[in-house]
Structure 1
Amino acid sequence: MTLFWHRRDLRISDNAGLYYALKQGGPVQPVFIFDAAILGKLPSRADARVEFIQRNVAELDAAYRTHGSCLLTYYGDPVAIWKSLRDEFRPTAVFTNRDYEPYARTRDDAVREILEEQDIPLHDHKDHVIFESDEIQKKAGGPYTVYTPYMRTWRSTLDARLSTHDGKPVSFYLKPYPTESYAGRLRQVADPPPVVRLEDMGFEATDVPLPPPAAPLPVLEQYDRQRDYPATEGTTRWGVHLRHGTVSVREKARRALATNATLLNELIWRDFYSNILQSFPHVAHRSYRPAYDTIPWINDEQQFERWCAGETGVPIVDAGMRQLNATGFMHNRVRMIVASYLTKHLLIDWRWGESYFADKLLDYELASNNGGWQWAAGSGVDAQPYFRIFNFESQQRKFDPEYRYVRRWVPEYGTSGYPDKPLVEHKFGRDRALATYKTALVAARAGSVAL
């Protein structure tokens, strides 16, 4: 008996760890654990992400049932549950796909330890990214910390090994795993137990519209020309599906490679930020550049609350925050604008904004969310740090000139019910941010804190 542990890979097809579990022989029993340590920290018991995961776990169970098997689901402490599974099934091995977040690494080490008590190996495989950090390294060794050279090496590594798929040449790294070919090795279950429900975990349904299945794909040929305009449905909406593995990143990379170079670059950015988190796990809590942790943030709580509510008096910022609060999604261009406004104009610690996004985004992923916020604050790996300050007025003129996006989410805009000026106006905010950052960084340099 082999057990396979689903986490961020809620699918059967093209699943690396599941493929290797099935290929070594059967029977293989799939397992999913709703982690109480993670879910217990959520600010609300009506969380659309939990609802999305539970729905897709139920769909995954239904897919296994078409093969005569099922997905065993649990809610609680993963280590305690794995002790129980270890003792009940006495597996010869456990397979899973790697998770690179700090908490996941600690959890997996604890599970590995209790399995090793009975000489049960935990085999983990790469599935969530195209390349892990140790696969894309500088010529002199070590991880990349600048995107452009990383991207070039990523692309050259992708092209270095060719294989075939459906009779066509494809990179070895993008070739799908033929998981279904071995589905006959799944453990057969005559009377499968029900899937854990929301109410079993103390959660309830929300009124947030959940993302549709990932099968319908947008017109990718227009991605590079439409992606920056928030009033247009010009983005892929792949994020939530890649985050939870309801689709394969290899499949999406093949589509992007054949269709749109800009979209492929976005997938490379995703790998890049994962590479940063893998190589420098301290970024989960601190600035990549230590000197930026010396910045004297104002951290005005009332201004932060108005930013969260979409009541800053900056139309495109308010529209973005209201879209996030209502749908769990925010257009990527707008994410950059609202993050810049918080960290530069309001001088509020980027970790406050990162945490709020973590609570609200359906596609929340630590590596990409952290990378984006540190990019906005200037504290990350980007080569152009603190003096990048978005002019929200010019961003509005360029990307939503007819205010279509703004009027959709801020219906009172243009009336007496909307503020006649922003919390912090651009010139004042920009000058204050530049002076604050410069003073702090000069002092840090004098004190030999790394920039």
Structure 2
Amino acid sequence: MAVTLVWFRDDLRISDNPALARAAEQGDDVVACYVLDDGSEGIRPLGAASRWWLHHSLAALAASLTELGIPLVLRRGAPADVVPRLVEECSAGSVLWNRRYGLAERTVDAALKESLTDRGVEATSFQANLMYEPWEVTSGAGEAYKVFTPFWRACLTFRTPRTPLPAPVSLRGPQLASDELGDWGLLPTAPDWAQGLRETWTPGEAGAHARLDDFLDGAAHGYKDSRNLPAVQGTSMLSPHLRFGEISPFEVWHAAQDHKDSSTAEDIRVFGSELGWREFSWQLLYFNPELATVNYRPEFNAFAWERSTQAELDAWQRGRTGYPLIDAGMRQMWEIGWMHNRVRMATASFLIKNLLIDWRVGEQWFWDCLVDADAASNAASWQWVAGSGADASPYFRIFNPVLQSKKFDREGRYLLRFVPELADADNIHEPWKGAAPGYPEPVVDLKESRERALSAFKALSQG
């Protein structure tokens, strides 16, 4: 019996998985594998929170595959070495995978495909994790879009996202030796800081679909406005499930469209545009592979970062800046590995503009702390706030955390959830204006630090 090897990566699901679906269609024996590549060959190592998620996502995928009739084979090492060995072990005639879009990943895949082809093994890749591949939708001049709105409009004009594929009914295949998931050390032990993550998330395909169903039955109604309110469950919180491919954007898109009616049409349109931002970010990364480390707008290379003291950076990282919205957001991320998007913008703005710390420092911190740390969205979003990215927020747009919390968390429910010591403050939004036992004084003055940031930007624009 012929054997097909299916290599899972950022597509840890059995439904709407084109590579797995093709293997099932061919009727061959199937070997499913996942290769843990700890940063070899230029691939960025996962952060701590993402490693926690990966452990549980792989456990869920393994259980789903077992129900279909095959195990998930786990191996650790460079794919260029591991995948050919697996091919030899099971005498596979073909290897299937779903495409990745980072330069390092594409380089690994291209070299492996060439190597397998030279050995007489067919290697085929599929579109699975983006509704529009980066090279498909370009400007009239054939270039990548630099502004989101025309990009997304062009996507929707170009093609309706395809219908999701069903999961295979059953599979069969040989047994191969596999690493033990627990031996990979993906989970924190000393200390075990993941209690909040365990209480908040259910990694895996079933958890992803449950999260989507809950959103469509609840928060999708009024999403356009409620998504800005950090104290309520106003967003889908699907981002980590999409990041690990436990659910596909095609599934999310069509489920949302099927749920649309006259009362939710605008909410679903806005929600769809958020999927569009994810697509836009991946196009940016595809054409700008160093997006996490190099300014998209080169004029920002001359920006005079005055990096604040280590104590100020520590205060930002630990949620001890003296500004309730910033501290609540940073503590939320530490507790559950996720932060509300509006608060992400505020915390990023504070680091970049009020503390004048290089955006790359923040991007790396979020990469380590977020369960949804996505190579494209994380980098593109930090550059957007910094003003150095595509379609970026102007540098002189500086989020005022006091005004933001008063507008979007007027009663302070979000603030009190993550900064409980504010319960004794005379003024929850501006605790320095009265007694606030146990809460720190502001690390910087908002007005003075804003003027310093604008002065630095003026110097850049005149340089």
Give the TM-score normalised by structure 1: 0.88
User: Compared with structure 1, are the counterparts of its residues 40 and 379 closer, same or farther at alpha carbon in structure 2 (3 Å cutoff)?
Assistant: closer
Of stretches 355-364 and 63-72 in structure 1, the one that deviates more from structure 2 is 63-72
| Amino acid corresponding to residue 207 of structure 1 in structure 2 | Q
Counterpart contact for 1:101–1:277, Cα < 8 Å: yes
Give distance in 2, aligned partners of 1:25 and 1:322: 50
| Amino acid corresponding to residue 29 of structure 1 in structure 2 | V
| Amino acid corresponding to residue 416 of structure 1 in structure 2 | P
Pick from 361, 369, 379: which aligns with 2:378? 369
Identity level (%)? 36
Query: What is the SS of the residue equivalent to 1:412?
Result: helix
Pick from 335, 341, 344: which aligns with 2:350? 341
Give distance in 1, aligned partners of 2:23 and 2:418: 47
1:195 is displaced (CA, Å) by 6.2
Superposed counterparts of 1:230-309, under 5 Å: 230-258=230-258, 259=260, 260-300=268-308, 301-309=310-318
Of stretches 318-327 and 247-256 in structure 1, the one that deviates more from structure 2 is 247-256
Give distance in 1, aligned partners of 2:34 and 2:167: 18
Name 1:320's counterpart in structure 2. Answer: 329
Counterpart contact for 2:75–2:178, Cα < 8 Å: no
Pick from 173, 188, 192: which aligns with 2:173? 188
Q: After superposition, what is the alpha-carbon deviation per residue over 1:66-119, rounded to whole angstroms, capped at 9, x for unaligned?
A: 222221111222222123113222322211111112332233234234323413
Give distance in 2, aligned partners of 1:151 and 1:113: 34
Name 1:417's counterpart in structure 2. Answer: 438
Give distance in 2, aligned partners of 1:174 and 1:208: 36
Query: What is the SS of the residue equivalent to 1:36?
Result: coil
User: Compared with structure 1, are the counterparts of its residues 136 and 200 closer, same or farther at alpha carbon in structure 2 (3 Å cutoff)?
Assistant: closer
Q: After superposition, what is the alpha-carbon deviation per residue over 1:164-215, rounded to whole angstroms, capped at 9, x for unaligned?
A: xxxxxxx4x23012342xx44x3334x6766632334474453342312123
Pick from 430, 440, 455: which aligns with 1:435? 455
Which runs of 5 or more residues in structure 1 are unaligned? 159-170, 444-451
Counterpart contact for 2:55–2:187, Cα < 8 Å: no
Give distance in 1, aligned partners of 2:186 and 2:341: 32
Counterpart contact for 2:224–2:270, Cα < 8 Å: yes
Query: What is the SS of the residue equivalent to 2:455?
Result: helix
Name 2:265's counterpart in structure 1. Answer: none
Pick from 32, 35, 57: which aligns with 2:34? 32
Superposed counterparts of 1:88-167, under 5 Å: 88-158=89-159
Give distance in 2, aligned partners of 1:221 and 1:323: 25
| Amino acid corresponding to residue 199 of structure 1 in structure 2 | D
Counterpart contact for 1:75–1:201, Cα < 8 Å: no
Counterpart contact for 2:52–2:186, Cα < 8 Å: no
1:60 is displaced (CA, Å) by 1.5
Give distance in 2, aligned partners of 1:248 and 1:58: 19
Give distance in 2, aligned partners of 1:241 and 1:393: 32
Counterpart contact for 1:253–1:264, Cα < 8 Å: yes
| Amino acid corresponding to residue 31 of structure 1 in structure 2 | C
1:255 is displaced (CA, Å) by 2.5
Name 2:209's counterpart in structure 1. Answer: 215
Query: What is the SS of the residue equivalent to 2:285?
Result: helix
Give distance in 2, aligned partners of 1:94 and 1:252: 27
Of stretches 111-120 and 366-375 in structure 1, the one that deviates more from structure 2 is 111-120
Q: After superposition, what is the alpha-carbon deviation per residue over 1:415-444, rounded to whole angstroms, capped at 9, x for unaligned?
A: 221124x2222221221111101212321x
Which runs of 5 or more residues in structure 2 are unaligned? 261-267, 426-435
1:357 aligns with 2:351: no
Query: What is the SS of the residue equivalent to 2:233?
Result: coil
1:224 aligns with 2:224: yes
User: Compared with structure 1, are the counterparts of its residues 23 and 286 closer, same or farther at alpha carbon in structure 2 (3 Å cutoff)?
Assistant: same
Pick from 387, 403, 408: which aligns with 1:399? 408
Counterpart contact for 2:228–2:408, Cα < 8 Å: yes
Of stretches 113-122 and 127-136 in structure 1, the one that deviates more from structure 2 is 113-122
Counterpart contact for 1:174–1:253, Cα < 8 Å: no
Q: After superposition, what is the alpha-carbon deviation per residue over 1:152-174, rounded to whole angstroms, capped at 9, x for unaligned?
A: 1112123xxxxxxxxxxxx4x23
User: Compared with structure 1, are the counterparts of its residues 284 and 209 closer, same or farther at alpha carbon in structure 2 (3 Å cutoff)?
Assistant: closer
Counterpart contact for 1:239–1:363, Cα < 8 Å: yes
Q: After superposition, what is the alpha-carbon deviation per residue over 1:263-300, rounded to whole angstroms, capped at 9, x for unaligned?
A: 10100111011111112223232010011121111122
Give distance in 2, aligned partners of 1:149 and 1:362: 30
Corresponding pairs, count: 422
Counterpart contact for 1:112–1:122, Cα < 8 Å: yes
Report the RMSD for the aligned CA atoms in angstroms.
Answer: 2.1
| Amino acid corresponding to residue 187 of structure 1 in structure 2 | R
Counterpart contact for 1:37–1:76, Cα < 8 Å: no
Of stretches 206-215 and 409-418 in structure 1, the one that deviates more from structure 2 is 206-215
Give distance in 1, aligned partners of 2:52 and 2:365: 19
1:390 is displaced (CA, Å) by 1.0
1:42 is displaced (CA, Å) by 5.7
